[in-house]
A = this chain, B = another copy of it.
Amino acid sequence: MMQKISITLAVVAIICLSSCKQAQNTNEDSLTSRQTETLFPKGNKIISNNFTGTAWLHMMIANDSTLYARMGNVTFEPKSRTNWHSHPGGQILLVTNGVGYYQAKGKPAQLLHKGDFVEIPPNTEHWHGAAPDNEFAHIAISLNTDEGGVIWLQPVTDEEYNNIKK
């Protein structure tokens, strides 16, 4: 009798633990999939002196001569960022994932999350990039490209980056 009960106890425990494990796994899978889900592909690693750290570009619209626009998805690893730069025709950023910053020269940095967007007026010196502990992805749409291409300037120093007021 005692042996039967012990076996039953063991079987019940195994079934319960196994089914719990399965439910947790499904949950972990869906969370992982949600966390890594991005609207657009990551593309190729950017090899450029105009960035600090590692960033990726998926080019979507190369300079279009009827729309006068250029569009790409940029993914920044934590801490990575563009140099200071400006766009003669302006730019829109649409944040698709993660946490990052946009800063116009002489103004406080803006903290950005998925779903935020930024209007960057023509000829405004600025940078954008990831927060220290988060990846960051945005669609960048350069406008009125008949006015000219991006004008790259100096890197955002570690001092500038680390002094962002949180």
Report B-chain residues with C-beta under 8 Å of the C-beta of A143: 67-69, 143
The smallest C-beta distance from A63 to any residue of chain B, in angstroms, reads 12
Report B-chain residues with C-beta under 8 Å of the C-beta of A96: 39
CB closest chain-B residue, reference A87: B67
Q: Does A45 contact B (CB under 8 A)?
A: no
The interface size of chain A toward B, counting residues with CB under 8 Å, comes to 46
* Inter-chain contact B117/A71, CB cutoff 8 Å: yes
Q: Does A27 contact B (CB under 8 A)?
A: yes
* Copies of the chain in the assembly: 2
Select A144's contact among B37, B68, B117, beta carbons within 8 Å.
B68
Q: What does the 1/0 interface line of A75-109 toward B look like (CB < 8 Å)?
A: 00000000000000110101010000000000000
Bound complex: CA of A66 vs CA of B19, how far in Å? 59
The residues in A between 116 and 142 inclusive whose CB is less than 8 angstroms from any CB of B are 117, 119, 121-122, 139, 141
Segment among A6-14, A48-56, A148-156 that sits at the interface with chain B: A6-14
A-B contact pairs, 13 of them (CB 8 A): A12-B13, A16-B16, A16-B19, A26-B27, A27-B27, A30-B30, A33-B34, A39-B96, A39-B114, A66-B121, A69-B92, A94-B139, A144-B144
